[in-house]
């Protein structure tokens, strides 16, 4: 049985879920694929770093990250100061890049992925930043290095958005898409439909881990815009930055407007659209009134939906219901398994 080692950059909710997932699926991975995984390195912002070529004790790592300890105590060697040096010294087969997204530049995740690809590692990420800010560069570097860079979890968690076109729909030309891609704002609007104030809705989303301490990336439409940019860049072949998306968030969407729409049999949704027109892309993120006849109407809670229009399939929808860190972690594992396949 072949063992593959992993270097993890970031050990937040998704990283922890991934650690639990590979432990839970260890027997299935052994029986079905004749492989196993060990985590050789973990780097965090607030809980230290560790490298152990024999494999880090993940139960201890999870316990430490849940408290105030440092992963340094699990390291078998002295950790270098730079994160690039840390990645190189890990000597892992795969890098899992899960640092916080930078909407404007994609850094430092881009640098992390470059470090992996130039040090004989495949790179897998749930980070949208590198996809929109350095896609062509990273794919070219991966090809030159004889490695792969995959990122299925960057949009809609573990749902197969990118791979379905890469593997199941060859030569399909995407003309455009529309959908709900930000689960946080979808939940906030639904809470206000139930009678909550905007502040109460945000507090609820934060309490269940859907909204960050600073939720502006969701509320102001940045998260939705960078997901639109990622889909356009990869699937439509036209580089697009989130700054190029016509963006409007939900700050001006009051409970009064939401309740009025509900009485009229409609719902407000933060709708994402992109359309190819004359070789250019018209991309927009904005609140829209959705009638009950629209498939977007029934997308509830933290669920997401995207509907693609292609030259061969006029309407192809992909729905993800109630995502969680576990679904994102599965997307990371699926990327690793697809690389090995």
pLDDT tens digits for 292-305?
Answer: 999 999 999 999 99
**CA 262, CA 289: separation in Å to the nearest integer?**
10
pLDDT tens-place values along the chain, 341 residues long: 999 999 999 999 999 999 999 999 999 999 999 999 999 999 998 899 999 999 999 999 999 988 888 999 999 999 998 999 999 999 999 999 999 999 999 999 999 999 999 999 999 999 999 999 999 999 999 999 999 999 999 999 889 999 999 999 988 999 999 999 999 999 999 999 999 999 999 999 999 888 888 899 999 999 999 999 999 999 999 999 999 999 999 999 999 999 999 999 999 999 999 999 888 899 999 999 999 999 999 999 999 999 999 999 999 999 999 888 899 999 999 999 999 98
Q: 124 and 151 in contact (C-beta within 8 Å)? A: yes
pLDDT tens digits for 112-149?
Answer: 999 999 999 999 999 999 999 999 999 999 999 999 99
**CA 231, CA 197: separation in Å to the nearest integer?**
33
Look up 227 and say whether it is catalytic: yes
Catalytic residue among 178, 227, 269, 284: 227
- Phi, psi dihedral angles at 60 (to 5 degrees): -65, -40
What local confidence, expressed as pLDDT, does residue 213 receive? 84
Number of H helices, E strands in the chain: 13, 12
pTM exceeds 0.85 for this model: yes
Name the strand (E) or helix (H) holding 141: helix 128-145
Other beta carbons within 10 Å of 224: 31
What local confidence, expressed as pLDDT, does residue 277 receive? 86
Nearest one of 219, 217, 163 to 192, comparing CA atoms? 219
What local confidence, expressed as pLDDT, does residue 84 receive? 96
Question: In this structure, is the dihedral angle defined by the CA atoms of residues 260, 300, 205 and 288, taken in order, positive or negative?
Answer: negative
Nearest one of 155, 108, 157 to 10, comparing CA atoms? 108
What local confidence, expressed as pLDDT, does residue 66 receive? 87
What local confidence, expressed as pLDDT, does residue 299 receive? 96
What local confidence, expressed as pLDDT, does residue 278 receive? 82
User: In the chain, what are the domains?
Assistant: 2-158+325-340 (3.40.50.720), 170-320 (3.30.360.10)
What local confidence, expressed as pLDDT, does residue 245 receive? 97
**CA 27, CA 128: separation in Å to the nearest integer?**
31
What local confidence, expressed as pLDDT, does residue 270 receive? 98
What local confidence, expressed as pLDDT, does residue 158 receive? 83
**CA 235, CA 81: separation in Å to the nearest integer?**
37
Left if phi > 0, otherwise alpha if psi is -120 to 50, otherwise beta: which for 218?
A: alpha
Going across the sheet that includes 304-310, the strands are 246-247, 280-291, 266-277, 174-180, 304-310, 316-320
**CA 66, CA 254: separation in Å to the nearest integer?**
37
Secondary structure of 263-290 in HEC code, one letter for each residue? HCCEEEEEEEEEEEECCEEEEEEEEEEE
């Amino acid at each position: 049985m072949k063992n593959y080692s992993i270097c993890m950059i970031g050990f937040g909710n998704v990283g922890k879920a991934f650690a639990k997932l590979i432990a839970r699926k260890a027997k299935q991975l052994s029986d079905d694929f004749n492989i196993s995984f060990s985590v050789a390195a973990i780097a965090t912002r607030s809980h230290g770093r560790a490298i152990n070529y024999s494999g880090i004790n993940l139960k201890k790592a999870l316990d430490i990250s849940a408290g105030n300890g440092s992963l340094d105590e699990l390291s078998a060697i002295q950790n270098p100061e730079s994160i690039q040096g840390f990645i190189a010294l890990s000597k892992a087969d795969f890098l899992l890049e899960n640092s916080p997204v930078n909407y404007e530049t994609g850094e430092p995740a881009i640098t992390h992925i470059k470090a992996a690809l130039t040090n004989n590692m495949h790179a897998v990420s749930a980070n949208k930043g590198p996809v929109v800010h350095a896609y062509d560069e990273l794919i070219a570097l991966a090809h030159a290095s004889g490695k792969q860079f995959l990122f299925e979890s960057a949009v809609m968690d573990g749902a197969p958005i990118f791979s379905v076109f890469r593997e199941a729909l060859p030569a399909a030309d995407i003309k455009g898409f529309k959908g709900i891609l930000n689960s946080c704002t979808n939940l906030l609007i639904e809470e206000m439909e139930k009678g909550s104030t905007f502040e109460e809705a945000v507090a609820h989303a934060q309490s269940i881990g859907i909204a960050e301490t600073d939720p502006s990336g969701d509320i102001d439409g940045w998260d939705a815009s960078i997901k639109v940019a990622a889909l356009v860049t990869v699937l439509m072949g036209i580089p697009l930055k989130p700054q190029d998306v016509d963006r409007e968030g939900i700050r001006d969407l009051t409970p009064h407007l939401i309740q009025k729409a509900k009485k009229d049999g409609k719902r407000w949704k933060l709708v994402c659209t992109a359309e190819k027109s004359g070789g250019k892309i018209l991309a927009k993120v904005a609140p829209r009134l959705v009638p009950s006849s629209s498939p977007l109407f029934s997308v509830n809670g933290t669920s997401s939906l995207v509907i693609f229009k292609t030259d061969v399939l006029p309407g192809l929808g992909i729905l993800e219901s109630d995502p969680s860190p576990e679904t994102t972690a599965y997307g990371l594992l699926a990327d690793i398994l697809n690389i090995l396949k």
